[in-house]
Chain A
Amino acid sequence: MNSFEFLAGETIISAEGEKELDAVIIKVGDREYRFFPINDNLFNITYDGRSHIIAAARHKDVIYIDIDSAVIEIREADSVSNAGSASTYHVIKDKVFAPMPGKIVKIMVNKGDSVAEKQPLVIVEAMKMENQINSPAAGTVKAVNFSAGDQVNTTSPIIELELEPTA
């Protein structure tokens, strides 16, 4: 099983997946995506009941994904914080956003709590599914900006962290 943390826009998306005989299965939260490779850069996937071709190519630390007629830029969250241009993105790691607009079901931490990397922080309900958001890094909870029942978008941080200094 491979685990990933990707940055799409300002959203951190955690995914894990593995290669099976004829497909690559990727899980994001409760959702499962089944990609059938055509070659190293093209995949087929069925979603919304329709077959789609997706193209992917990497340039430096960005993976470009062409879905339908749109191209979406995906960065590896790790590479972002380690890269030379880290300062631009590092700020994201200390903020926790909803992966898509939705309603907060539960907040599992309080201000002042110390949290470990990948510790569950919040559950957000969107598109009738619950999404658990894990801590992007180890640190201390600096602020909790919403409560259960609140509607959230993807651009206002739900939780802000004070990161542990990294060596």
Chain B
Amino acid sequence: MNQLFKKILIANRSEIAVRVIHACRTLGIPTVAVYSDADIKSKHRLLADESVHIGAAPPLESYLNFEKIINAAKSTGCDALHPGYGFLAENAAFAEHCRKEKIKFIGPSPESMRLMGDKVASRKAAAEAGVPLVPGMASTSSDINVFAKFAQEVGYPVLIKASAGGGGKGMRAVGSEKDLQPALEAAQREALKAFGDERVYLEKLLINPRHIEFQILADEHRHCIHLFERECSIQRRHQKIIEETPSVSLDEDLRVRMGGDAVKVARAAHYTNAGTVEFLLDDSYNYYFLEMNTRLQVEHPITEMATGIDLVIEQIKIAAGLPLNPELKNAVQRGHAMECRIYAEDGENKFLPSTGTILLYHEPSGPGIRVDSGIMQDSEISIDYDPIMSKLIVHAPDRPAAISKMIDALNNYKIIGVKTSRQLMVDILKHPEFAAGRTYTSFIEDNLANRVIDGQALQELAAAAAGAFSILNAGKKSAAYDGSAGSSSSPWQSLGNWSIGSSINE
């Protein structure tokens, strides 16, 4: 194969930058990383073939700065740019800027991004394509009477949402008519502040839905396919933490219908590259279009594990103008894949962000275990960026085996220095309701709100381990005693992709 691009700049950081670099290496394309002051000692910088410093830690001065990123691409001779997700991935103005500078943006066109980024416009496009929507207003309004009338029609509870919205901002649930006016005003204020756009509309609030999304691949030659669903119902603070595929709640008929409708939405947006169409599924198995994400998703690896398709490689091929390989149409879901997101947050205390230095880092390994990580021993977890550190992904023949493998992998994933939600995720995975497949977006509040952690049980064992640690490291004031370096003779260090003390170049 001829080299698809001369050189690719990765306009992102941490685990997704590392993920994209891996795909580029597979394709034989040289890579350029960008990094801020906070990422001088970062894994993505070390792994890339070249790296360019783009400024101070605050995103506006580095990872969100158009000029600095474009200049880095031009000065290193890059002819393409991968945005990852977050930062500039869904910024249509940035994609336009790349187009003007003749740097290929590996993602959809700015036009598709604009259409799908506007909730009301994307609902209209989906409705015209014949795809069911959550019942709601067809346009925005600022008239309380319009909201009251619609709420009456679809029935309370309802949800006020920002048209420019995302991330729960400008969003208000309303239980009854008397709360409508203040909620409307609050949502408008919040939307204006977050997006510079106060337009809001109203939808029926579905109770206890499941969150099901379909992976889309579309080339620049009008071919568009879906690569099945991902179920992302296990969430905390409206953010996903455990995802799996296939979903236990879809049968073949429903999968075919939803997948077909996902493709219709993508076609309506003249979509190209990788994208995701999100649906809500109610307990009567009615599904409703929610939104389209015009980027690679955090949870893309489970689709890769189940289908054997490397989505980032496909993104790069599509951006280079290649048609989709006809073989992709024969993709099937094999076995069961599951992902746990490893955030630097306190799973035992309201998911408060946790910052610090990674004192010790050891990844699990074994058949069907994949770790997409942006951190290493000594990495600094700062407050400047999203707290996701890594993703643990497993693949097994069926769902019970995937759950069991994930619990084992979480137990053997060692991270000391910042708090994580590993223990909470083990408790979710061990919960009989999870095993039964009753996964709804309110799962954690419904099943684990009053969770009690038995801190006593392991204290004695931990103290004994501290004794063993002290004896083994007696008299050493070396780095190893602080957990900042490993010795080199252990078999464990050669097992994982990125375990302690191993070379960064694999």
Contacts and interface: CB of A to CB of B under 8 A. Distances in A.
A54 to B, nearest CB: 5
B323 to A, nearest CB: 45
Given A66-B360, A69-B425, A72-B459, A26 B464 contact: yes
A57 B482 contact: yes
Given A40-B473, A41-B500, A35 B468 contact: yes
Given A4-B467, A41-B360, A74-B463, A66 B473 contact: no
Given A26-B464, A42-B492, A64-B359, A56 B469 contact: yes
Interface residues of B, number: 49
Nearest to B490: A39
Interface in B411-453: 411-417, 419, 422-423, 425-426, 453
B1 interface: no
B493 interface: yes
B466 A57 contact: no
Interface in A57-73: 57-59, 63-72
A19 B413 CA distance: 26
B460 A31 contact: yes
A26 B467 CA distance: 7
A33 B487 CA distance: 24
A154 B454 CA distance: 12
B470 interface: yes
A74 B466 CA distance: 7
Interface stretch (A8-16, A86-94, A143-151): A8-16
B471 A13 contact: no
Prevailing SS type, chain A contact patch: strand
A38 interface: yes
Given A56-B465, A64-B416, A9 B425 contact: no
A63 B470 CA distance: 9
Interface string A37-59: 11111110101000011111111
Contact of A65 (B412, B455, B462, B493): B462
Interface size class of A (residues with CB under 8 A): 35 or more
A57 B458 contact: no
Contact of A57 (B412, B483, B489): B483
A101 B454 CA distance: 11
A45 B416 contact: no
A59 B417 CA distance: 9
B466 A4 contact: yes
A40 B470 CA distance: 10
B423 A56 contact: no
A39 B465 contact: no
Given A4-B470, A9-B455, A53-B414, A39 B487 contact: yes
Given A2-B467, A56-B465, A71-B416, A41 B486 contact: yes
A116 interface: no
B56 interface: no
A58 B483 contact: yes
A28 B474 CA distance: 19
Contact of A72 (B362, B412, B462): B462
Contacts of A154: 456
Contacts of A40: 472-473, 476, 480-481, 486-487
B461 A67 contact: yes
B472 to A, nearest CB: 6
Nearest to B488: A39
Interface string B345-386: 000000000000001101000000000000000000000000
Contacts of B489: 39
A52 B411 contact: yes
A100 B460 contact: yes
B468 A24 contact: yes
Interface string B269-309: 00000000000000000000000000000000000000000
B392 to A, nearest CB: 11
A40 B458 CA distance: 21
Nearest to B476: A40
Nearest to B455: A9
A99 interface: yes
Sorted nearest first, the 6 A-B pairs with minimum C-beta distance are A57-B483, A55-B414, A69-B422, A72-B462, A56-B469, A8-B459
Interface of A: 2, 4, 6, 8-9, 11, 13, 15-19, 24, 26, 28, 31, 33, 35, 37-43, 45, 47, 52-59, 63-72, 74, 76, 99-101, 154
14 contacts: A8-B459, A8-B462, A11-B456, A15-B467, A24-B468, A28-B464, A37-B468, A40-B481, A41-B500, A55-B414, A56-B466, A64-B359, A70-B423, A70-B458
Interface of B: 359-360, 362, 410-417, 419, 422-423, 425-426, 453, 455-456, 458-474, 476, 480-483, 486-487, 489-493, 500
Given A4-B463, A40-B480, 19 more contacts: A8-B462, A17-B468, A19-B471, A41-B360, A41-B469, A45-B465, A55-B416, A57-B417, A58-B481, A59-B359, A59-B482, A64-B416, A65-B469, A68-B426, A69-B411, A69-B425, A69-B426, A70-B422, A76-B470
